[in-house]
Amino acid sequence: MGDLLRVENLKTYFKTQNGVIKAVDDVSFSVTQGEVLGLVGESGSGKSMTCRSIMRLIAHPGKIVSGKIWFQGEDILSWPMNRLVNYRGAQVSMILQEPMTALNPVQTVGLQIEETIIQHERISKNSARDRSIELFRKVGIPAPERRIKEYPHQFSGGMRQRVMIAIALACRPKVLLADEPTTALDVTIQDQIIRLVEALQDEMGMSVVWVTHDLGVVAQLCDRVAVMYAGHIMELADVIELFENSRHPYTRGLLESIPSGETREVQKLIPIQGQPPDLCNLPAGCPFIPRCRYSDKSCTSADLTLREVKPGHLSACKRFEEIWN
């Protein structure tokens, strides 16, 4: 099938004092070589946890309860720790939302790139140093020879994010997981970073999973999109198909609540009613029921398996045919 990465029925649960949080509840999707998949949802939808599960970075009280994650035909969830160390950072890399907390404040950025390179490839320190300078140049950090010796707090927010990208790409991974990398940056910088990732992705042919809550970013960058809510995937489609022919009430709600900026007439923004879900106490059936305009009694016994709308377009809404045809 040509899938580089395939997530199959992934369930990641957290055991807390208030109950069990089903952060990722039976999630399945795949990523092919060279494509950019967007993972969209609000806070608590499970998009970050999905990425961390793919990296097997889930720690107590969280646990990957069941499912499989196929990378190049092998299930990484069955791997022992020492194989994982070769996988992370080298085959699949991740960048995080807030570079100031993600980078070690008392270590130079140069060291932080070099240690990744040295960990995965047996090259000398000097070669690693040259490579990191080159990487800095590639991600657009001026005067790399000087800046490589500096500390994270000496960089601006956008520059720090570039540093993190440089680190993530140092060993030419096949898949890049980007967990809301531009959320903490202002819009102009955001745009620069997105273009940078686009260019790098083009050049290196790697796949990207881009996590965001911003549909605008999705439109700009992604080939396919998965929309998540309360730990489930609600809809999965090509980006244009999603924007033009969405078949899920939640996605529709998201699309209706952002201004289009295209029409000149006064536009009414329709927010999604209700509150974000309490992940410990989800109602029976579809978790979106409390906020859904279209729900009826049958939704409380719905299961959320993805149904085909047309080839390449899946929706978890049991009633999408009734609602929109």
Contacting positions for other proteins (CB under 8 A)? 17-18, 52, 55, 57, 81, 84-90, 93-94, 96, 98, 101-107, 115-116, 119-120, 151, 153, 164, 167, 274-283, 290-291
CB of 243 to other proteins, least distance (A): 28
CB of 278 to other proteins, least distance (A): 5
How many whole angstroms separate alpha carbon 109 and alpha carbon 298?
A: 55
Q: Spell out the long-range contacts of 252-261 with Cβ–Cβ below 8 A and sequence spacing 24 or more.
A: 253/291, 253/293, 254/40, 254/215, 254/227, 255/215, 258/215, 258/216
Of the candidates 320, 296, 323, the residue with the CA atom closest to the CA atom of residue 308: 320
Closer residue to other proteins (CB): 164 or 254? 164
Q: HSE-up of 7 (CA within 13 Å, CB side)?
A: 25
CB of 55 to other proteins, least distance (A): 6
Closer residue to other proteins (CB): 82 or 263? 82
How many whole angstroms separate alpha carbon 48 and alpha carbon 95?
A: 11
The SS3 of residue 150 is coil
Closer residue to other proteins (CB): 57 or 270? 57
How many whole angstroms separate alpha carbon 191 and alpha carbon 90?
A: 26
**φ and ψ at 301, to 5 degrees?**
-110, 20
CB of 107 to other proteins, least distance (A): 8
Closer residue to other proteins (CB): 106 or 269? 106
Tell the residue number behind the tokens 């730990």, with chain if given: 231
CB of 255 to other proteins, least distance (A): 22
Closer residue to other proteins (CB): 88 or 318? 88
How many whole angstroms separate alpha carbon 138 and alpha carbon 200?
A: 9
Closer residue to other proteins (CB): 69 or 309? 69
CB of 275 to other proteins, least distance (A): 5
